[in-house]
């Protein structure tokens, strides 16, 4: 009887230790992902400028792409850089992604959104992987 209690205690302790390490691993994975997204978005926010010029030029024409795409790209570039700084600062705190797509070069033909918000309007395109919600 004493052996069964010892065995049950060992199994329970092992299960609790495994669950705790899985939680810690997912925390550190989330922390690492958020930290790397923050650093890369701070460093590469400027990618939004050619991204918006190219996307709007292909949808409309070169004049609209070079004018409105440039303005929109600068706005998104500043936004992505600031959101990257926020991700970097808050990386120890678990949360949802701040920017979608997470990096400026992912899903290049789609417009960027921040904090889950999207602003439909002219020349706003979300792809099949991202419905804007």
Predicted confidence (pLDDT) per residue in 103-113, tens digit: 888 888 888 88
User: Using a CB cutoff of 8 Å and minimum separation of 24, what contacts does 58-61 make?
Assistant: 59/123, 59/125, 60/123
Break the chain into its structural domains and give their ranges.
2-114
**Quick check: pTM over 0.75?**
no
CA angle, 133 as apex, 26 and 88 as ends, to 5°?
45
pLDDT attached to residue 24: 57
**Distance from chain centroid for Cα 106:** 10
Predicted confidence (pLDDT) per residue in 22-74, tens digit: 455 688 888 888 999 999 999 999 999 999 999 888 888 899 889 998 999 99
């Amino acid at each position: 009887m004493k052996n069964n209690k010892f065995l049950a205690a060992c199994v329970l302790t092992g299960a609790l230790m495994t669950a705790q390490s899985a939680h810690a691993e997912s925390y550190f994975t989330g922390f690492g992902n958020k930290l790397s997204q923050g650093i890369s978005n701070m460093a590469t926010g400027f990618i939004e400028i050619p991204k918006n010029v190219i996307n709007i030029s292909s949808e409309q024409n070169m004049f609209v792409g070079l004018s409105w795409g440039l303005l929109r790209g600068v706005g998104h570039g500043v936004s992505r850089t600031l959101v990257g700084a926020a991700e970097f600062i808050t990386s120890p705190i678990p949360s949802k992604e701040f920017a979608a797509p997470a990096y400026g070069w992912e899903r290049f033909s789609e417009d960027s959104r921040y904090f889950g918000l999207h602003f439909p309007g002219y020349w706003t395109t979300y792809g099949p992987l991202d419905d804007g919600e």
